[in-house]
Amino acid sequence: MGVLDYIWLGVLAVFQGPEAFTVFGISVSITVMMVLSGFLFGILVGATPGLAGPFAMAISLPILISIFGYSPDALLPVMGFLIGIMKGATIGGAVPAILFNTPGTPDAFMTTLDGYPMAQRGQAKKALRIAHFSSASGDTFSDIVLFVCAPFLAILVEAYLDLPEKTGLLILSLSFIAAVIGGSPGKGLISIGLGLLAVYVGTGEDFYPRLTMGADELSRGFPITTAVLGVLIIGAVFKGLEETWQESRRGKRSIVVPETGDQKLRWPDIKRLLPHISRSALIGTGIGALPGVGSTLAATLGYSTARARYAKSKDADAAAFGEGAPEGIAATEAANSAVSGANLIPVLSLGIPGNAAAVFLILATETIGGFNPGPSVFRFSHDVINPELVVAFGLFTCMTIANLFNWTIGGVFMRSMGFMIRIPKQLLLPSVLLLTLTAIYVQETRIEAIWFALGFGVLGYFMRVLAISPLPFVIAFILGKSLEETARQAYSATGNDPFFLFNNPIALAFILMSVAVIFFTGRKAKKAAP
C-alpha cells in the first residue's frame, strides 16, 4: 500500500465510522460530530477566565471513555473531541482579552495590549474578527507543517536511531523541558525528578515492588489519571481558590462602549495584516515543534517581532503597539495558534508531549489503546495494513475538519461568548474540582484514586507556590516508563553494557547536549537575575 492509500483509509475511518445520525439520507459520522462538539466546547472554555483547554480536556477524557469504552472504534471520536477542544480554546481566549482586558488563557495576555484599547474605541467586533482570522490562519499553516514534517521526522528516527540513541533522545527531551519551563533549570529538574519518582512507585519491570513502603495500595503504582489531573488541574484549582480568597471584593462595573466605525474586516485590512500573520505563524510553528516551550513564548516573540517591524513602517496617524494597533492582535493570535499543530510533531513522531494539551492526547491513547505515538506509527507496510498509520491520518483528517469549522462557524460562535466573563470564580472553581474528582472515580472506580488525586493536587499547589512548573512533572511521569523500557532493552541488546550511552557516538552526543542545555540555560538565568 502506498501513501495515498493510507491517507484515503484515514479519511474513510473518520467519515465512515459509527453513524451519529442521518440528514437527507446522508450519514453523519460520530467522529465529525465529536470534533464539532469539542470545538464549540473549547471556545466556551477559552472564553471563560480561569479555565483553559487542558481543564476541559481533563474533565472530558474520563467521561468520554466511560461513554465510548476501550474499543478501537472509540479512539478517533475521543481524540477528535480533544482536538476540537484544543483548537477552540485557543481562539476563545481572545474574547475576554479583547472585551474585558482579562485573558481567557495565558496565551492571550499579549492580545489584551491592543485588543482592549480597540474595544474601548468602539471597535470590539472588528478586533474579534482580526483575532479570529489571524488565529485560524496560523493554525492552518501549523497543521500543514505537521502533516508534512511528522511522518518525515518519524521515518528518520526509525531508520537511523537504535535503542541507545532513542534512550539518549528521551534524556535530551527531558533535559530540554526542564531547562526551558519554569524559568530555572534547577526547578525544572526538581519537577522532572518528582515525576520520575512518582511513576516508578509500584511493581517494576522485574516484577518486584519498589518505593511502596510496604503498602499494598501502592504496589500497582499511581494511576496516570490521578497524577496528571491531580498536579495539573486540582493543584491549579487549589491555587485559584487561594487567590480568590485573598482578593478583595471590588464592585467594579463594566462600561458599555458604543460601536464606532466600520466593524467589518475588509480586504485592505487583511492585506495590511498578512505580513505580520505569516511571520508570526512561522515563529509559532518553529517554537511549537520544540517540546515544552509553549504558546506563551510564541505569542510574546511574535508580538515583539511585529512591534519592531511596525515601528519602522507605521503611518503618522496610525495607532502604536499597545494603543490599539490591529497588527498587535494579528501577530499575537497567529503565533499562539500556530503552536497547536506544531506541538503534535514531537508527539506523533517521537511520542514526546510538548505542552499540556498534548499530554491529554497521549493520555487518551494510553487509556484506550490501539495507538502508540512514536516513530513506529509512520511505518509504511505494503503487504499488511498498519492500523496505527491509519489512525494517524484519521487524526490529521480530524484536525482538517476542525480547521474547516474554525473558518466557517468559529468566528460567529466566538463573538457570542462575551457573557462567560461574568461567571464568578467562587462558583466556577469548586465545580471544576467536583467534575474532576467525579471523572477520576468514573474511570478508576476505586476510592484510593480520589485520595491519590487529592495528594497530587496538594503537590501541584505547593509546586505553584514555589514557582515550580508542574508540566515537567507530568511529562516525566508519562515518559518515565518509556525511558525505563528503552534503557533496559538497550542494556540487554548491548550485552549488558552499563556504559551503552557513552559507547555509542549518537547517544553520547545526546547526553552531552543534555548537559549543555542545562548548563547554558542555568548560566543565562543566573546572569539575568537581579
pLDDT at 256: 47
25 φ/ψ angles, rounded to the nearest 5 degrees: 80, 0
3-state secondary structure of 230: helix
Quote the cell numbers at residue 295: 504558546
Task: Determine the pLDDT at residue 438.
Answer: 84
Contacts of 62 (CB under 8 A, 6+ apart): 225, 439, 440, 442, 443
pLDDT of residue 379: 79
- Which one, of 393, 459, 341, lies nearest residue 4 by Cα? 393
362 vs 395: CA distance, rounded Å: 13
Distance CA 355, CA 475 (A): 8
Task: Identify the bridge partners of residue 23 per DSSP, sorted by sequence position.
Answer: 26
pLDDT at 346: 82
Query: What are the residues whose beta carbons fall under 8 Å from the beta carbon of 297, sequence distance 6 or more?
Result: 287
- β-bridge pairing 26-29 and 202-203: unpaired
| Residues belonging to the chain | 530
What is the pLDDT at residue 512?
93
E-strand stretches of 241-348: none
User: What three-state secondary structure class fits 48?
Assistant: coil
The closest of 527, 499, 111 to 296, measured between CA atoms, is 111
> Counting beta carbons within 10 angstroms of the beta carbon of residue 14, is it exposed (0 to 12), middle (13 to 18) or buried (19 or more)?
buried
pTM, whole model, 2 decimals? Answer: 0.79
Residue 413 grid cell: 460562535
351 within 8 A of 298, measured Cβ to Cβ: no
Specify the DSSP class assigned to residue 408. Answer: I
The secondary structure of residue 264, as a DSSP letter, is: S
Measured CA to CA in angstroms, residue 148 lies from 120, 141, 152, 154, 344 at distances of: 42, 11, 7, 11, 12
Q: Could you read off the pLDDT tens digit of each residue along the chain, which spans 530 residues?
A: 677 888 888 899 898 877 777 777 778 889 999 999 999 999 888 887 667 778 888 888 888 888 888 887 889 999 999 999 989 888 888 887 887 776 656 566 678 888 888 888 888 888 889 999 999 999 999 999 888 888 888 777 777 778 888 888 888 888 888 887 655 788 889 999 999 999 988 866 666 778 888 787 788 888 888 888 888 888 888 888 887 777 655 554 444 455 566 677 888 888 888 998 999 889 888 877 776 555 666 777 787 888 888 777 666 566 777 778 888 888 888 888 888 778 788 888 877 776 777 888 888 888 888 788 878 788 777 777 888 888 889 999 999 999 999 999 888 888 777 665 566 667 777 887 888 888 788 777 788 889 999 999 999 999 989 988 888 888 888 888 888 888 988 888 888 888 889 988 989 998 999 899 888 877 766 665 55
Q: Exposure string (b/e) for 407-435, b if CB count within 10 Å is 16 or more?
A: eeebbebbbebbebbeeebeebbeebbeb
At residue 253, the 3 state secondary structure works out as coil
- Please say whether the dihedral angle defined by the alpha carbons of residues 12, 15, 21 and 22, taken in this order, is positive or negative: negative
CA distance 46 to 471: 19
CA–CA dist 385, 373 (Å, integer) = 17
Backbone φ and ψ of 209, nearest 5°: -60, 140
Contact (Cβ atoms closer than 8 angstroms) between residue 6 and residue 389: yes
Angstrom distances, CA of residue 262 to CA of 115, 322, 324, 461? 16, 21, 15, 46
Predicted confidence at residue 252, as pLDDT, reads 47
Alpha-carbon span 35 to 79, nearest angstrom: 8
| Residue 28 φ then ψ, to 5° | -110, 120
C-alpha cell at 23: 440528514
